Amino acid sequence: MPVFEAEGRSPALWSTHTVVNQVPEWANDDLWDADVALREAVEQAGAHWAAERLQTYARQVGSPAARADAVAANVHGPQHRPYDARGHRLDAVDFHPAWHHLLGLLRQGGWVTLPWRDDRPGRWTAWAAGFYLHGQIEQGTLCPATMTQAAVPLLRREPALWAQVGDPLLSDAYDPRDIPLQAKASIWVGMGMTEKQGGSDVRANTTTAWPLDGGGRGGVYRVRGHKWFYSAPSSDAHLVSARIGPDGPMGCFWVPRWWGAQRNAVRIQRLKDKLGNRSNASGEVEFEDALGILIGEEGRGIATLVEMASYTRINCVLGSAAIVRAALVQALHSARHRQAFGRALAQQPAMRGVLLDLALESEAALQLGLRLAQACEDAAPLDQAWRRIVTPAAKFWVCKRAIAATAEAMEVLGGNGYVEEGTLARLLREAPVNSIWEGSGNVMCLDVLRAVQRQPQAAHALLNDWRQALHGDAAALGALRTLAAAWQTQTDGAALEHQARWIAQTLALLAQAVLLRTRAPAAVADAFIATRLGEAAVGQTLGVIDARSWATDAILARALPEA
Ligand SMILES: Cc1cc2nc3c(=O)[nH]c(=O)nc-3n(C[C@H](O)[C@H](O)[C@H](O)COP(=O)(O)OP(=O)(O)OC[C@H]3O[C@@H](n4cnc5c(N)ncnc54)[C@H](O)[C@@H]3O)c2cc1C
């Protein structure tokens, strides 16, 4: 006889406990409606025409189905299939259907190449907003989208090639087929620079290209060598750096996956087993005399790929801003509903400081990403200064802060934040990659120095403009003066390198201060400036803020309106 019957208990009552005080994840599909700062920014940039489209996209990508796809695409990552069943070389990568759903959504939504074929004011902000919404749900798919988008301006300057690839490159159709390029409705383009012996130091590249018919811009070359990181390896083509001859100048080559009806000799050796970004494939490849076309002039290879990186780095900022936003909403939602020590966590004084800091960090990251995107739209000198000087600083600072902010948001959920059934674990695994690829932290800081040294007048004009915007903010003006003095007094580049991280950090914080002061409510700007640049800037750790000093309720309500 079962024990419970012997004890006179009913089987229906056989349960150990009732589950209470557990907060389901924030899984709403109103990513757009819930994001006041994003909606305001889109309006301010003149992209109101995109609002409805963004709202529709938010509902698609925020839907339960898309959220489930994001989980599945990362749990069931890409699989390398080097050969077919009969031993023919394929160099294929197989993806879970969830990956295709998400990448298809991104492409069909227009969030890959919209700003290159739309001339309405606000097009870059509209695109950035769509990219940011998508990045809150799934990050791996942003990689092929980013590289494809950034390849457009380079390829546009090559008339013969553009005539073949322009339409499928700009198309919003989603065509994942591994077939010759000529038959495709749309194509993806990757980027291959990093080699084993040197990634940041691109001059260390040993991959070599040999001209077939005299060579020169638009000429065909045989490319031999390897790439140690080659993301989205099944893309229809990559832009690849290689030396022209063993000791020759560096060139940039269009290396397609198919050459006419034949597979090109780009051999995927294996896929990387990565901490995060698991839905996306990153390969190691060998070029066995693969065929490629020279893009741009001989010797301009690095400059060409650096131009591409000037766009991809903005996407790293936006992708990191999306991670911070996704982490913030989970933290805020959980803290509002989880009770501890007699009240909601969001009401506990120490927790209010943490939530406030996360909310400030999130809006500042968003504003900076959107401003850099907006700068792509305008050739005005100030916009060019934002692009050239502020982008590397923002890439350094926002991508690093995203790691800290995501970890802090995870802790707001306590142990639940750490388990794989929630989104925080995936977000935290994802966060560091934006800081590493497209130029790691130190390299970005050195790039800020290079930009300032090459364009001192642009740097001067930028700080002048900021001085006016921050005229009432003594703390920010003090930081601005110290930064300007460091630039002016230390003309020796090597000496300045010791301060590279401080300079990039200060520049990024000032940029965020300016943007919040001119674009966000005063409550947000006041709290941000004082806690980042003023006397209240005490914490190396997020959350070292006295929430009583600021309009915390208003700032948190703005970050995520209570349902
Ligand atoms: C998931 C993933 C996908 C990737 N996909 C691609 C891809 O598709 N295409 C591609 O080309 N690359 C890709 N990369 C490579 C990436 O861009 C490089 O890893 C990155 O640029 C750093 O190069 P490295 O790994 O050779 O490190 P290194 O260049 O050896 O740098 C190591 C560290 O030293 C620092 N450092 C370098 N120089 C200096 C200096 N002068 N002073 C102070 N510090 C310095 C760097 O900041 C870094 O922290 C990918 C990387 C990852 C992780």
Contact indicator for 515, 374 with CB cutoff of 8 Å: no
Q: Is 194 in the pocket of ligand 1 (CB under 6 A)?
A: yes
Q: Which of 194, 273, 503 has most ligand 1 atoms within 8 Å of CB, for mutation?
A: 194
Q: Is 518 in the pocket of ligand 1 (CB under 6 A)?
A: no
- Ligand 1 atom having least distance to the Cα of 199: 26
Helix (H) or strand (E) holding 220, with range, is strand 220-231
Q: What angle do CA 148, 153, 155 make, to 5 degrees?
A: 75
Percentage helix, strand, coil, to 5, in the chain? 55, 15, 30
- Ligand 1 atom having least distance to the Cα of 438: 17
| Distance from C-alpha of 60 to C-alpha of 51, rounded to nearest angstrom | 14
User: What sections of 237-299 are H helices per DSSP?
Assistant: none
Strands 208-211 vs 250-256: parallel, antiparallel or unpaired? unpaired
| Distance from C-alpha of 208 to C-alpha of 189, rounded to nearest angstrom | 21
Contact indicator for 487, 452 with CB cutoff of 8 Å: yes
| Distance from C-alpha of 140 to C-alpha of 134, rounded to nearest angstrom | 10
Helix (H) or strand (E) holding 380, with range, is none
Q: Which of 272, 305, 436 has most ligand 1 atoms within 8 Å of CB, for mutation?
A: 436
Q: Is 282 in the pocket of ligand 1 (CB under 6 A)?
A: yes
| Distance from C-alpha of 381 to C-alpha of 317, rounded to nearest angstrom | 22
- What are the tokens at 22? 């557990």
What dihedral angle (degrees, nearest 10) is formed by the CA atoms of 474, 390, 367, 319? -140
| Distance from C-alpha of 326 to C-alpha of 367, rounded to nearest angstrom | 15
DSSP state at residue 447: H
- What are the tokens at 514? 């300016």
Contact indicator for 240, 141 with CB cutoff of 8 Å: no
Q: Is 433 in the pocket of ligand 1 (CB under 6 A)?
A: yes
| Distance from C-alpha of 69 to C-alpha of 531, rounded to nearest angstrom | 38
- What are the tokens at 213? 């018919």
Which residue, among 190, 192, 198, 197, has the nearest Cα to 223 in the 3D structure? 192
Residue with tokens 């995870």: 410
pLDDT for the residue 15: 78
- Ramachandran sector of residue 493 (left: φ over 0; alpha: ψ -120 to 50; beta: rest): alpha
- Ramachandran sector of residue 91 (left: φ over 0; alpha: ψ -120 to 50; beta: rest): left
Nearest CA to ligand 1 atom 23: 199
pLDDT by position in tens, the chain (length 563): 444 455 555 556 667 889 999 999 999 988 999 999 999 999 999 999 999 999 999 999 999 999 999 999 999 999 999 999 999 999 999 999 999 999 999 999 999 999 999 999 999 999 999 999 999 999 999 999 999 999 999 999 999 999 999 999 999 999 999 999 999 999 999 999 999 999 999 889 999 999 998 999 999 999 999 999 999 999 999 999 999 998 899 999 999 999 999 999 999 999 999 999 999 999 999 999 999 999 999 999 999 999 999 999 999 999 999 999 999 999 999 999 999 999 999 999 999 999 999 999 999 999 999 999 999 998 899 999 999 999 999 999 999 999 999 999 999 999 999 999 999 999 999 999 999 999 999 999 999 999 999 999 999 999 999 999 999 999 999 999 999 998 887 666 778 899 999 999 999 999 999 999 999 999 999 999 999 998 877 677 999 999 999 999 999 999 999 97
Contact indicator for 292, 265 with CB cutoff of 8 Å: no
Q: Tell me phi and psi for residue 188, to 5 degrees.
A: -120, 145
pTM (predicted TM-score): 0.97
Determine the distance separating the centroid of ligand 1 and the alpha carbon of 241, expressed in angstroms. 15
Q: Tell me phi and psi for residue 190, to 5 degrees.
A: -110, -170
If DSSP codes are grouped into helix, strand and coil, which group holds residue 344? strand
Nearest CA to ligand 1 atom 33: 440
In DSSP terms, 555 is beta-bridged to: none
- Ligand 1 atom having least distance to the Cα of 282: 3
CA-to-CA dists, residue 143 to 138, 366, 553, angstroms: 11, 19, 36
- What are the tokens at 283? 């390969």
Q: Is 279 in the pocket of ligand 1 (CB under 6 A)?
A: no
CA-to-CA dists, residue 179 to 182, 234, 357, 429, angstroms: 8, 11, 49, 33
| Distance from C-alpha of 533 to C-alpha of 473, rounded to nearest angstrom | 10
Q: Is 440 in the pocket of ligand 1 (CB under 6 A)?
A: yes
If DSSP codes are grouped into helix, strand and coil, which group holds residue 188? coil
CA-to-CA dists, residue 437 to 192, 343, 432, 508, 541, angstroms: 12, 43, 9, 19, 24
Contact indicator for 355, 556 with CB cutoff of 8 Å: yes
pLDDT for the residue 1: 44
Query: At what angle are helices 36-44 and 500-519 packed, to 10 degrees?
Result: 80
| Distance from C-alpha of 128 to C-alpha of 137, rounded to nearest angstrom | 15
In DSSP terms, 344 is beta-bridged to: 339
Q: Is 108 in the pocket of ligand 1 (CB under 6 A)?
A: no
pLDDT for the residue 75: 98
3-state secondary structure 518-559: HHCCHHHHHHHHHHHHCCCCCCCCCCCCCHHHCCHHHHHHHH
Contact indicator for 68, 74 with CB cutoff of 8 Å: no
If DSSP codes are grouped into helix, strand and coil, which group holds residue 251? strand
Residue type, position 433, single letter: V
